[in-house]
Chains A and B, each alone.
Chain A
């Protein structure tokens, strides 16, 4: 019977160490299974989060061999067999215990972003009409499962700790999803620049690389938002033009 060795962080933000556990390996096993096996057989108080075990809820984020990943979607078969698998909590957020981190900052950030505000319904029965092609981009961002892996990897948060000035890639595409929603009438461009720190993003695309939903965070979300910020703040011509074009959305929508 083949076994697999894991080195799992045990402890809190301030103190702890990597502990080694060896378990029996089953076909098709993912890292989350391995962690659960350790929990059930050797360390019942080993803390981790999970819900769906199918990459749908974004609960089981961790750093596996140094890479931010979902534990439930990382197969042991895809990791090198000759050395222990390192499993540790997301670095960007405070470790509560073992693999569980305090992600409450993300919930606070979202609350600050202006909510969806739809235009008046298109039809007398109170419903709207939208073309599938016009909603597809927004649907891409709405695939987000809030695993916060992109937040974890982004250097502006991870290394520079700009928690007060930068909302991170997850909330840049959340904002993009609202801004690009054909029904929305709110304006969040000024917030993006002044409060949310979109300027800190220097398009390294690390966020896009780790996104388990394969959302093109940078190309499809952040860059178009940066363009809108530029349009609105640095281009008097565009602004003048806007006075004659009531819809704030139309220009960026047509040009992309």
Chain B
């Protein structure tokens, strides 16, 4: 028996979320031989959970919108740490990508005149999110899946990549194992696209699924790629808090987009208390104006609940910390109050937020049309990730590309809601296109087969100590460590504790083991997850420690203000020659002049 099966592709795509599938469709359209691998079944990737919508300045609802405003909103939301070229491409190309989904069978909600409808979301100046109720991600992934299965690429489901293999400085393949029987597979590939999504599972309270273990981040890092901005981790302001079993599950921002308000334990609407200067001129200063905005009054300004996520999460955190929160450690999110304004409020809520209605009814026993929800911050999205070229999405390793949540640059210090789904299709397409081009231009590869053999031995290691420590307990300890020490509000000493803690968990990982056999064995899988989880946790903690200012999603108690100098630098992490983690700072390139003018123009509005 050979130690592993082999497959060969021009382009291998790791991940079948929105980014991976869009890349696969594009690469296949060039005639390239394309393979896709994913850890779950097709159609189950994290993208399926996205709720609120995808941002694209189609101007279907408000004709004042356009790519320049979307660009400016994205840059301001990201506190100008974004890669400006990515923000530009994203704003310009998102409308075409969304319309293309319709051509492939997506059925989005309509405006009265029959176009794709768009809704309000935090940080977006105009209603901009194309959506289907609150199940937009499902619509996206199903559309790409159902279109994709007829495009000729091969899908390997329930296959997990554990290592990348190179040919000199160029990427050459990926080593993986399949769940069903634990057999090994080696994929030889001329180009690889990482589209592995997020990393929230290194925290205890997260909206991410079991897949969100930062595999792509870790694979790229260990293959020598540079990472950027790992300190910027988005805490979504509204996760469920009760009962304990659902803690962290997302409550879509769409609730606030439809008029939901945040209240403390006394029923006071606290978001009017603290409105950042940069947004003051765009934010309503009274409840009546806020409501008019929700109802589409173009003269009205947005309610403060729709400020950016980093800000809303911190305001909620403050209420909870000062004992003004709800009984189970959250605050109240109330959509039922709209009955003061809408006659059939029950029907309206069920139509606009059907899955939220069911989620609370079935999991928490709460009827959101009558009662407020209890919500609190939850780890949601990684703005940081693999450094990529804005045009091609190639990483700093030749032939290795990255797109979607595992890639970084578009969102800067804070992502606006809805900008991820559009990111997936805009840059997924680009990654697929340029990876296929690279494969053609660079020809055959000769993978380092000794490295493949090393990858096999590493993957088998947990079986060497069947009585070793259970991987689940190490994972739990890591989650608590990160939750307690690298949270919404950060301090030097806590982060150093985290770094020390991670070191000792690495020791425990060495001796961790698994019993049972190789057939569909979650204990084994969890043991293999530890390496990426520890790698990304260390990246987050080290980057966070290095940024001595507060900006966007990164808030330092010991450096509570923005620092102009720090604000021009991005944090780069890469693997040093000695195997340690090297951290450097890189100056952001100056923004192109016409784009500076666009930003300034929009700041005045």
Q: Hey, which bits of chain A sit against chain B, CB under 8 A?
A: 26-30, 33, 39-41, 44-59, 73, 75, 96-98, 100, 103, 107, 110-111, 115-116, 118, 121, 126-132, 135, 138-139, 142-146, 178, 181, 183
3 shortest interchain CB distances as A-B pairs: A28-B243, A44-B523, A45-B516
A108 nearest in chain B by CB position: B149
- The answer to whether B363 and A135 touch across the interface, beta carbons within 8 angstroms, is no
Q: How far is the CB of B67 from chain A (nearest CB, A)?
A: 15
Chain A CB within 8 A of B546 CB: no
Choice from A27, A40, A129, A132 contacting B109 with Cβ under 8 Å: A132
Q: B residues within 8 A CB of A183?
A: 102
- The answer to whether B146 and A116 touch across the interface, beta carbons within 8 angstroms, is yes
| With known contacts A110-B146, A135-B107, A54–B49 Cβ distance under 8 A | yes
Q: How far is the CB of B12 from chain A (nearest CB, A)?
A: 20
| With known contacts A73-B362, A116-B105, A107–B470 Cβ distance under 8 A | no
Chain A CB within 8 A of B211 CB: yes
- The answer to whether A52 and B49 touch across the interface, beta carbons within 8 angstroms, is yes
Q: A residues within 8 A CB of B46?
A: 51
Tell which of B42, B110, B138, B522 has the most Cβ of chain A within 10 Å. Answer: B522
Choice from A56, A118, A121 contacting B49 with Cβ under 8 Å: A56
Q: How far is the CB of B233 from chain A (nearest CB, A)?
A: 20
Chain A CB within 8 A of B113 CB: yes
Chain A CB within 8 A of B440 CB: no
* A121, B364: Cα distance in complex, Å: 44
- The answer to whether B515 and A44 touch across the interface, beta carbons within 8 angstroms, is yes
- On chain B, the number of residues with a Cβ less than 8 Å from chain A's Cβ atoms is 67
* A127, B286: Cα distance in complex, Å: 39
- The answer to whether B105 and A75 touch across the interface, beta carbons within 8 angstroms, is no
- The answer to whether B104 and A116 touch across the interface, beta carbons within 8 angstroms, is yes
Q: B residues within 8 A CB of A121?
A: 103
* A26, B243: Cα distance in complex, Å: 9
Choice from B48, B519, B523 contacting A56 with Cβ under 8 Å: B48
- Could you mark each residue 170-195 of chain B with 1 if its beta carbon is under 8 Å from any beta carbon of chain A, else 0? 00000000001000000000000000
Tell which of B211, B358, B364 has the most Cβ of chain A within 10 Å. Answer: B358
Q: How far is the CB of B537 from chain A (nearest CB, A)?
A: 19
- The answer to whether B49 and A57 touch across the interface, beta carbons within 8 angstroms, is yes
Choice from B107, B363, B516 contacting A75 with Cβ under 8 Å: B363
| With known contacts A54-B249, A59-B40, A130-B114, A47–B522 Cβ distance under 8 A | yes
* A128, B60: Cα distance in complex, Å: 12
Q: A residues within 8 A CB of B358?
A: 55
Choice from B40, B142, B180 contacting A142 with Cβ under 8 Å: B142
* A139, B359: Cα distance in complex, Å: 19
Tell which of A29, A49, A178 has the most Cβ of chain B within 10 Å. Answer: A49
A141 nearest in chain B by CB position: B107
B48 nearest in chain A by CB position: A57
Q: A residues within 8 A CB of B49?
A: 51-52, 54, 56-57
- Could you mark each residue 10-48 of chain B with 1 if its beta carbon is under 8 Å from any beta carbon of chain A, else 0? 000000000000000000000000000000111111101
- The answer to whether A51 and B99 touch across the interface, beta carbons within 8 angstroms, is no
- The answer to whether A97 and B147 touch across the interface, beta carbons within 8 angstroms, is no
| With known contacts A54-B359, A143-B135, A128–B102 Cβ distance under 8 A | yes
Chain A CB within 8 A of B480 CB: no
- The answer to whether A28 and B364 touch across the interface, beta carbons within 8 angstroms, is yes
Chain A CB within 8 A of B339 CB: no
* Chain B, range 512-566, C-beta contacts under 8 Å to A: 514-517, 519-524, 526
Choice from B99, B364, B514 contacting A45 with Cβ under 8 Å: B514
| With known contacts A54-B249, A59-B44, A131-B110, A27–B243 Cβ distance under 8 A | yes
- The answer to whether B107 and A49 touch across the interface, beta carbons within 8 angstroms, is no
- The answer to whether B105 and A146 touch across the interface, beta carbons within 8 angstroms, is no
Q: B residues within 8 A CB of A131?
A: 110, 114
- The answer to whether A44 and B516 touch across the interface, beta carbons within 8 angstroms, is yes
8 A-B interface contacts by CB (under 8 A): A29-B245, A53-B209, A54-B359, A96-B180, A97-B520, A121-B103, A127-B99, A132-B117
Q: A residues within 8 A CB of B112?
A: 132
- The answer to whether B107 and A142 touch across the interface, beta carbons within 8 angstroms, is yes
Q: B residues within 8 A CB of A39?
A: 472, 522-523
Q: How far is the CB of A226 from chain B (nearest CB, A)?
A: 23
- The answer to whether A27 and B244 touch across the interface, beta carbons within 8 angstroms, is yes
- The answer to whether A45 and B146 touch across the interface, beta carbons within 8 angstroms, is no
* A97, B117: Cα distance in complex, Å: 44
* Chain B, range 130-161, C-beta contacts under 8 Å to A: 132-133, 135, 137-139, 142, 146-147, 149-150
Q: A residues within 8 A CB of B102?
A: 127-128, 183
Q: How far is the CB of A173 from chain B (nearest CB, A)?
A: 13
In the complex, given contacts A44-B522, A49-B41, A127-B116, what are 7 additional A-B residue pairs having Cβ atoms less than 8 angstroms apart? A26-B244, A28-B364, A103-B41, A110-B146, A139-B109, A142-B107, A181-B107
* A225, B252: Cα distance in complex, Å: 35
Q: B residues within 8 A CB of A28?
A: 242-246, 363-364
* A45, B515: Cα distance in complex, Å: 7
A123 nearest in chain B by CB position: B115
- The answer to whether B107 and A139 touch across the interface, beta carbons within 8 angstroms, is yes
* A27, B358: Cα distance in complex, Å: 19
- The answer to whether B139 and A142 touch across the interface, beta carbons within 8 angstroms, is yes
Q: How far is the CB of B13 from chain A (nearest CB, A)?
A: 17
* A142, B44: Cα distance in complex, Å: 15
* A29, B245: Cα distance in complex, Å: 6
* A145, B520: Cα distance in complex, Å: 23
Q: A residues within 8 A CB of B520?
A: 47, 96-98, 100
Chain A CB within 8 A of B355 CB: yes
Q: B residues within 8 A CB of A135?
A: 107, 109-110
Q: B residues within 8 A CB of A30?
A: 245, 363
- The answer to whether B245 and A33 touch across the interface, beta carbons within 8 angstroms, is yes
Q: A residues within 8 A CB of B117?
A: 132
- Could you mark each residue 450-473 of chain B with 1 if its beta carbon is under 8 Å from any beta carbon of chain A, else 0? 000000000000000000001111
- The answer to whether B359 and A130 touch across the interface, beta carbons within 8 angstroms, is no
- Could you mark each residue 93-130 of chain B with 1 if its beta carbon is under 8 Å from any beta carbon of chain A, else 0? 00000010011110101101111110000000000000
Choice from A51, A126, A138, A145 contacting B40 with Cβ under 8 Å: A51
* A126, B99: Cα distance in complex, Å: 8
Q: A residues within 8 A CB of B114?
A: 128-131
Q: A residues within 8 A CB of B113?
A: 129
Q: B residues within 8 A CB of A41?
A: 472
| With known contacts A30-B245, A130-B114, A57–B107 Cβ distance under 8 A | no
Q: How far is the CB of B73 from chain A (nearest CB, A)?
A: 23
Choice from A26, A75, A130, A145 contacting B138 with Cβ under 8 Å: A145
* A142, B520: Cα distance in complex, Å: 31
* A142, B526: Cα distance in complex, Å: 33
- The answer to whether B362 and A55 touch across the interface, beta carbons within 8 angstroms, is yes
Q: How far is the CB of B57 from chain A (nearest CB, A)?
A: 14
Q: How far is the CB of B362 from chain A (nearest CB, A)?
A: 6
Q: How far is the CB of B365 from chain A (nearest CB, A)?
A: 8
Q: How far is the CB of A150 from chain B (nearest CB, A)?
A: 16
Tell which of B43, B116, B471, B517 has the most Cβ of chain A within 10 Å. Answer: B43
* A100, B519: Cα distance in complex, Å: 11
Q: How far is the CB of B580 from chain A (nearest CB, A)?
A: 32
Q: How far is the CB of B461 from chain A (nearest CB, A)?
A: 16
| With known contacts A44-B516, A142-B142, A56–B245 Cβ distance under 8 A | no
Q: How far is the CB of B18 from chain A (nearest CB, A)?
A: 14
- Could you mark each residue 249-260 of chain B with 1 if its beta carbon is under 8 Å from any beta carbon of chain A, else 0? 110000000000
Q: A residues within 8 A CB of B42?
A: 107
Q: How far is the CB of B207 from chain A (nearest CB, A)?
A: 9
* A75, B243: Cα distance in complex, Å: 11
A77 nearest in chain B by CB position: B365
| With known contacts A27-B243, A59-B41, A178–B516 Cβ distance under 8 A | no
- The answer to whether A129 and B115 touch across the interface, beta carbons within 8 angstroms, is yes
* A49, B41: Cα distance in complex, Å: 9
